């Protein structure tokens, strides 16, 4: 009853959970794992760490690009009595990281609560099968456990996505499970009315810094979490390689045989990084765009550039395609962002060396409006 019942995951499911996608790697790590495991864990901390940041010796791929120390801190937090809160800009792979950590620690990443304005306590703790409830009264049979209850009872990691999208009072139902490690079910009587968390239970929550201030967490809840900020990829070369690889993969899947041009991608990634950080390579500060300029967005723009170039002209995409695509991703429906983008293209591009930068400047008129 833990994971999706899938006969042939590769065929039937668009995106199987991490523990299915990387089942081989997990098995190899488990077999080679000699270090002590924290109580309730499927792997030792060291092996879980290798699962995320990779281990060439066991043919474990690197799944998360970022500081290894972040993974260390996250895993140690999960082994202590505080929850782990991953915060960061959208598109920084927080959810992927939380999925990987849950898969490594508990062998299952599917005890997931998706936070949102409509999330209620029912979706977090438990609800009832009302037919049985009416027929038999409250009992363990009529109880329908939600992820939190199951995680506590089974000693597993529970993921809470976008926790700050939930109303404050809903968030606060995590307080006693996190501090006293117990969940009361007042409708039941006897020992069944208290579910005590078993070893291995902990919570990984994610929150988006763009939502800061919308449903700010109570300080009581904050205190029960250790915060880890996930940053966009710090190193230009790493990000460029990642974008190039992922875009090439997507383009092949779309039937494009032309490889994306490296110099165009360089301009693309530089532009994204500068608009994201609000600082140019020369050190000038700018206002950031309100749109999300994540690596994932850069990949999708690179994909779109390749598609345009290939299907419109039968060649790899050019810088003109980049400008045309930027309007759609970066500016979206915001005229302010469009103005910022126009300002960037006309004022912050001319001083750079390179043909593609010049082409970018010349193509600035292709921005709509």
Partner 1 sequence: MPVTFLGVRHHSPACARLVGGTIARLRPAYVLIEGPADFNPRIGELLLGHELPIAVFSSYRDDARRHASWSPLCDYSPEWAALTAGEAAGARLRFIDLPAWHPAFEDRANRYADAELRYAEVIARLCRSFDVDNVDALWDHLFEIAPEEGLAERLDAYFDLIRGESRASDSDTAREAYMSTWVEAAAAAAGDRPVVVVTGGFHRPALVAAHARAASDRTASERAAPDDAAPGRTASDGAAPDRAAPDRGGASWAGGEPRPAEADRGWPAVPGMPDGAVGGSFLVPYSFRRLDSFDGYQSGMPSPGYYQELWESGAESAGRRLVEAVAERLRERKQPVSTADLIAARATADGLAIVRGHPVAGRTDVLDGLASALVSEALDVPLPWSSRGMLGAGSHPVVVEMVAALSGSRVGRLHPATPAPPLVHDLDAELARSGLDGIDDLDLDLARDSDRERSRTLHRVRVLGVPGFVRESGPATGLEPVLRERWTLRPSNDRLSAVIEAGAYGATLADACAAVLAERAALAGRDVDVLAGVLFDAALAGSADVSGRTLADIEATVGAAGELGTLGKMLAVVLTMWRHDRVLGTAHSGTLGAVIAAAVRRILWLAEGVHGGTAPAEPARIAALAACRDALRHAGDRLGLDPSAALEVAGRVAADVQAPPDLRGAAFGFRWALSPARPTSPIPDSAGPDPAGPDPAGPDAADVIGAAAGADDGLDPVRAVRGAFQPRGAGDWLAGLFALAREEVLHDGRVVGLLDELMSGLSAEDFLVALPALRQAFEYFPPREREAIADQVLARRGRGGGGRRLLRSADDPEVVAAGMALDDLVEAVLRREALLGAGHDRS
Instruction: For residue 366, give the H/E element and its range.
Output: none
Q: Which pair of tokens denotes residue 152?
A: 């506590």
Please identify, using beta-carbon distances, which residue of 99 and 228 lies nearer to partner 1: 228
Q: Is 353 exposed, middle or buried (0-12, 13-18, 19+ CB in 10 A)?
A: exposed
CB of 207 closer than 8 Å to CB of 85 = yes
Q: How many degrees, rounded to 5, is the angle at CA 87 between CA 265 and CA 157?
A: 115
Give the contacts of 221 (CB within 8 A, at least 6 positions apart). 171, 172, 174, 175, 178
From candidates 169, 245, 336, 355, binder to partner 1 by CB under 8 A? 336
From candidates 82, 125, 165, 303, binder to partner 1 by CB under 8 A? 82
From candidates 207, 307, 326, 338, binder to partner 1 by CB under 8 A? 207
Q: Is 304 exposed, middle or buried (0-12, 13-18, 19+ CB in 10 A)?
A: buried
Residue 158, SS3 per DSSP: strand
**Is 212 an interacting residue with respect to partner 1 (CB under 8 A)?**
yes
String marking each residue 244-283 x if it binds partner 1 according to CB under 8 A: ------------------------------------x-xx
Please identify, using beta-carbon distances, which residue of 222 and 262 lies nearer to partner 1: 222
Interface with partner 1 (CB under 8 A), residue total 48
Cα separation, 204 vs 109, in Å, equals: 10
Selection from 102, 131, 77 nearest residue 20 by Cα: 102
From candidates 17, 88, 177, 317, binder to partner 1 by CB under 8 A? 88
The piece of 76-84, 135-143, 185-193, 258-266 that touches partner 1 (CB under 8 A) is: 76-84
Q: In angstroms, what is the minimal distance from the CB of 101 to partner 1?
A: 14
**Is 68 an interacting residue with respect to partner 1 (CB under 8 A)?**
yes
Q: How many degrees, rounded to 5, is the angle at CA 317 between CA 313 and CA 322?
A: 125
Chain contacts with partner 1 (rule: CB under 8 A): 45-46, 49, 53, 67-70, 72-73, 75-77, 79-80, 82, 87-88, 207, 209, 212, 222-223, 225-229, 231, 234, 280, 282-287, 336, 339-340, 342-343, 346-348, 350, 365, 369
């Amino acid at each position: 009853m833990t994971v999706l019942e899938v006969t042939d995951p590769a065929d039937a499911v668009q995106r199987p959970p991490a523990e299915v996608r990387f089942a081989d790697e997990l098995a190899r790590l488990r077999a080679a794992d000699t270090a002590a495991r924290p109580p309730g864990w499927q792997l030792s901390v060291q092996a879980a760490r290798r699962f995320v940041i990779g281990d060439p010796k066991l043919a474990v791929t690197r799944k998360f690009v970022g500081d290894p120390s972040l993974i260390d801190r996250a895993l140690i937090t999960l082994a202590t009595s505080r929850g782990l809160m991953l915060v960061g800009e959208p598109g920084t792979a927080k959810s992927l990281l939380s999925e990987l950590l849950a898969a490594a620690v508990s062998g299952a990443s599917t005890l997931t609560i998706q936070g949102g304005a409509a999330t209620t306590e029912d979706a977090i703790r438990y609800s009832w099968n009302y037919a049985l409830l009416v027929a038999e009264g409250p009992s363990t049979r009529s109880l329908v456990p939600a992820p939190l209850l199951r995680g506590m009872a089974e000693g597993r990691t529970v993921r809470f996505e976008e926790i700050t999208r939930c109303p404050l009072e809903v968030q606060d139902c995590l307080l006693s499970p996190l501090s006293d490690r117990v969940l009361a079910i007042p409708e039941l009587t006897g020992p069944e009315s208290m579910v005590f968390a078993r070893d291995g239970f902990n919570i990984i929550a994610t929150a988006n810094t763009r939502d800061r201030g919308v449903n700010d967490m109570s300080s009581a809840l904050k205190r029960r979490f250790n915060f880890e900020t996930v940053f966009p990829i710090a190193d230009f070369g790493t990000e460029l390689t990642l974008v190039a690889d992922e875009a090439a993969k997507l383009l092949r899947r779309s039937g494009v045989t032309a490889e994306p041009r490296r110099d165009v991608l360089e301009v693309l990634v530089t532009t994204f990084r500068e608009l994201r950080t609000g600082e140019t390579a020369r050190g000038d500060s700018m206002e950031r765009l309100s749109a999300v300029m994540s690596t994932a967005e850069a990949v999708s723009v690179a994909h779109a550039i390749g598609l345009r170039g290939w299907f419109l002209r039968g060649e790899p995409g050019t810088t003109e395609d980049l400008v045309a695509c930027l309007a759609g991703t970066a500016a979206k429906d915001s005229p302010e962002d469009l103005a910022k983008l126009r300002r960037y293209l006309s004022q912050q591009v001319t001083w750079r060396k390179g043909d593609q930068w010049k082409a970018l400047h010349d193509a600035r008129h292709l921005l709509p409006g």
